[in-house]
A and B are shown apart, each in its own frame.
Chain A
Amino acid sequence: MTRALRRLLIAATFLSALLVASPAAACGYDTECRVELEDSAATVGFEGAGVSEVVGVGGPEYFQYAYRLLDPCLAAAETRGYCSPTDVRECPEQPDRVMGYFVVDRRPIVPSQGPAVEPVPNGFGPGDPIGDWSYFREGCFDITPLNPPPSPGEVFSYFERLPLPTLTTQHQPPGNGLSGLPVIFYTDSPTTQTFTVDVRGFTVVIEARATQYTWHTGDPASPAVVSTDPGRPYPNETVEHDYRSGTYTASLTVTWGATFSINGSAPQNVPGTTTTDGPPVTFDVLQARPVLTDPYN
């Protein structure tokens, strides 16, 4: 499946915490291919408890089948290898409800009560799937019960892939340094950034902020200086390093933390951090040599 298609699927569909899905890699094999996931960040359908209620199934069929909702784009892609814009269907919006157009498949299972719709092979008990998935119906369904707000872990999976800025290392004195005179490091790149992302229909605002700065000095004697601030230029410097004469390449790795809010809720912490590596800068540190001069000459 192409990346473009995956993005289309992400835009068109929703993730369910109720989804029972194996890793996407399993669909590369003959068996046990569940609904495919995109790094747990987006998916194409729902499977598991609750789907039959959403579909509106009752009576014996409630116990005789397992049901799943598939995005029509995925269903088309699996059948003919691609998804076209005509496969993406819209549903009328309803206040405070999440609506989606889905293809409903169902599969016979060994029922916990009542007769099975298919003969049960040896070795299977209640709840076990025993037949093949087949088309049942399609249409607009209210998936609000299947679509809980994004969990902190789910938000973190988005946060990890945000295009966070890479911070540039500034140093003083500009150009060459002098041994015995500390080199000052700082960055004037932005250290906060706000992202608004759509997660299964929820508006999630992620406020990212740099929480730690690791200055790679390029000096094997002391390879890193860690700070919690971005440093400042002279004369308010907070990060500096003494070099011996030589050529050095320095860079800055920034650790990012974040808070997030969902549909305007109170912010909470994203459970985890991520890092970005800034571009390296190379400079020489020269050995200062005293020279006697006659100020009156």
Chain B
Amino acid sequence: MVAGLVLGTALLSGCSEATEANDTLPSASPAPTTEALPPIGPADFPVPNEARTKDAASAEAFLRYWIDLINRQRSLLAGQPLRDLGPECRDCLRIANNYDEAAAAGRHFEGGELSLNDVTEPQFSGDEVSITFGIRREAVVLMDAAGAPVDDGLPMQPNLGSGITLAWSEPDKSWLVLSMTLG
């Protein structure tokens, strides 16, 4: 009881001056709301909101999302989302085609997961931003429909020098991949 009184006194003493109670109702104008971002990316794996502003943190967030998307599409064997987000990116189209061709041939990839190592500060040039980074790639091999390897595959690489160039798309409110090289 005594402690409560002391606390209450201490809180009240924090008020420098008294304020009058508001005896009017709030205006009828609606409160501002956040404009919905146009959907981009797979419906069940969209580009996250933190990657949809035109700043360095957003560009890095997009890069992290993009690597996750590649890993996802490799296991799904579906290249179209990579084309959608990198329509002018030659290597993105190559990878997307690899996935679609593997699916058409009844093949699949074993391994190959990508994970980012060191990611450097994004470098802006107008509406474009480039990021250099190291990436780890697990061992990977393409398997045929019978479960036999199609070729020798590639061994694990702990740190492949890589880079990506992103371009800001105002209509999409998102980054798009302009070019990318992994390893």
Contacts and interface: CB of A to CB of B under 8 A. Distances in A.
B157 to A, nearest CB: 7
A131 B90 contact: no
A79 B130 contact: no
A124 B161 contact: yes
Interface stretch (B7-15, B27-35, B38-46, B113-121): B113-121
Contact of B90 (A31, A78, A129): A78
A28 B142 contact: yes
B91 A33 contact: yes
A118 B123 contact: yes
A79 B164 CA distance: 16
Given A31-B154, A124-B134, A131-B181, A118 B120 contact: yes
Given A30-B114, A132-B180, A134-B179, A118 B94 contact: no
Interface in B92-129: 93-95, 97-98, 109, 112, 114, 117-121, 123
Contacts of B114: 30-31
- Determine the main DSSP class of A at the interface with B: loop
**Most chain A CB atoms below 10 A, which of B90, B114, B150:** B90
Contacts, number: 115
A205 to B, nearest CB: 35
23 contacts: A23-B151, A25-B152, A27-B94, A29-B142, A29-B153, A30-B137, A30-B182, A31-B114, A31-B135, A31-B154, A33-B94, A79-B93, A81-B97, A107-B163, A118-B130, A118-B132, A121-B133, A122-B117, A124-B134, A131-B161, A131-B162, A133-B91, A134-B165
Contacts of A33: 91, 94, 183
Contacts of A28: 98, 142, 150-151
A139 to B, nearest CB: 19
A72 interface: no
A92 interface: no
A130 interface: yes
Interface in A72-106: 75, 78-81
B95 to A, nearest CB: 5
Given A132-B130, A132-B165, 11 more contacts: A29-B98, A32-B183, A33-B94, A78-B90, A107-B181, A118-B130, A121-B119, A122-B117, A129-B161, A130-B162, A131-B161
